[in-house]
Amino acid sequence: MRRALELAGYGPVTGDHARVGAVILAPDGSVLAEGYHRGAGTPHAEVDALSHLAPGAAAGSTAVVTLEPCNHHGRTGPCAVALIDAGVARVVYAIDDPSPTVHGGAERMRAAGIDVVSGVMASEAESFLERWLRSVRLGRPWITVKWAASLDGRVAASDGTSRWITGAAARQHVHEQRAAHDAILVGSGTVLADDPSLTARGDAGELLSEQPLPVVFGERLVPAEAQVMRHPRGFLQCSGHDLPAALDVLHRRGIHTVLAEAGPTLTSALIRAGVADELLIYVAPILLGGPYSAVADIGVGTIADRTRLIVVSTTTLGPDLLIRARIDRSTT
């Protein structure tokens, strides 16, 4: 299973799919074949592994998979049926598939006489697939909220200028985070004020191979001359003020991860709505003062109602500090 999780890590981070790995073992425990899912529309990990074997070579084997084999016809056929047809005798997987349209592969294989074992290294698989699993279970994208601020919590100077608060290393890390999410979310006010390109770029300014879909939230129209109009993936505007409805639209489009690089208003709305799954806070060793705080009203009227954070990690990026944190749900 550990090897299957390693194989799963080779799959693309973004896209409407889970990263899954599979290992086919002979009755004597030797490895017959390995596979992983290379993205939406490509063979699933089990089928990828079986494709490396001659017909009949998998008879009596054990398939070790990081996620319950699927039981539905999508862009590809059911993996449960592929394993049954291949003559696999035993299937070991880590966690059940949470999607009601996909779940059921285990029962189907058991009904066909296959010995099915689940829960092997389940905690490791849950951690590995955390973002995708949370998105499927909650019916909305995983949302990473990012901001860059001075040590006194300001995102701009008193005159509104904000470029650049952090150094080159922190800014490049942000571009890598953009490439690791399906979409990037900003408010229409940010588009009008900053005219961001919302692309993921490398050290030399080149476009990275993976680009997030820009999503503009708000009623104000995006100007025809705005940089986002020239984004290689186009952009999506979610008009209005209904945040849950906008997230539902994104989820139905197969978007499982969103990086929010919004201003204080939208950032605060995401936190206040309880949909900020992770915070990436880039802190520069500078003081700015002034009115432009990173977070506005999040519904804290008194100190007893303060929102507590759990710091997951701290990382030094040149002169800056990256704090990766989660909201402490046990106190909300």
Residue whose entry in the numeric block shows the structure tokens 């998979």: 65
Determine the pLDDT at residue 249: 94
3 state SS of 41: coil
| pLDDT for 332 | 52
Q: State pLDDT tens for residues 45-81.
A: 999 999 999 999 999 999 999 999 998 876 677 999 9
| Best CA proximity match to 156, nearest among 199, 191, 184, 193 | 193
Average pLDDT along the chain:
93
Residue 190: phi, psi to the nearest 5? Answer: -65, -40
Confidence of residue 111 (pLDDT cuts 50, 70, 90): very high
Q: Give me the mean pLDDT over the 105-129 stretch.
A: 96
The residues of the chain that CATH labels 3.40.430.10 are 140-331
Listed in sequence order, the residues at least 6 apart from 226 whose beta carbon sits closer than 8 Å to its beta carbon are 191, 195
Tokens found for residue 160 = 């509104």
CA distances 89 to 59, 110, 119, Å, are 7, 10, 18
Structure tokens at 240: 């209005």
Parts of the chain belonging to CATH 3.40.140.10? 2-133
Residue 103: per-residue pLDDT: 76
Using DSSP, state whether 25 is helix, strand or coil. strand
pLDDT digits (tens, 9 = 90+) for 322-331: 999 999 987 6
Architecture of domain 140-331: 3-Layer(aba) Sandwich (3.40)
Look up residue 194 and give its DSSP letter.
H
Q: What are phi and psi of 78, to 5 degrees?
A: -65, 130
Structural tokens at position 56: 């009949």
Q: By percentage, how much of the chain surpasses pLDDT 70? A: 99
Cβ atoms of 63 and 83 within 8 Å: the answer is: yes
- Structure token digits, residue 281: 């806070």
Closest residue by Cα to residue 65 from 90, 93, 84, 44: 93
Residue 55 has a pLDDT of 93
Q: Which tens digit of pLDDT belongs to each residue from 135-186? A: 999 999 999 999 999 999 999 999 888 888 999 999 999 999 999 999 999 9
Q: Is the per-residue pLDDT at 215 higher than 80?
A: yes
R_g (Cα) of the chain, nearest Å? 23
- The fold of the 2-133 domain, in CATH, is Cytidine Deaminase; domain 2 (3.40.140)
Instruction: Note the pLDDT of residue 102.
Output: 75
For residues 244-253, average pLDDT: 94
Is the pLDDT at 296 greater than 60, yes or no?
yes
Catalytically active residues are 46
Q: What is the arithmetic mean of pLDDT over 18-27?
A: 96
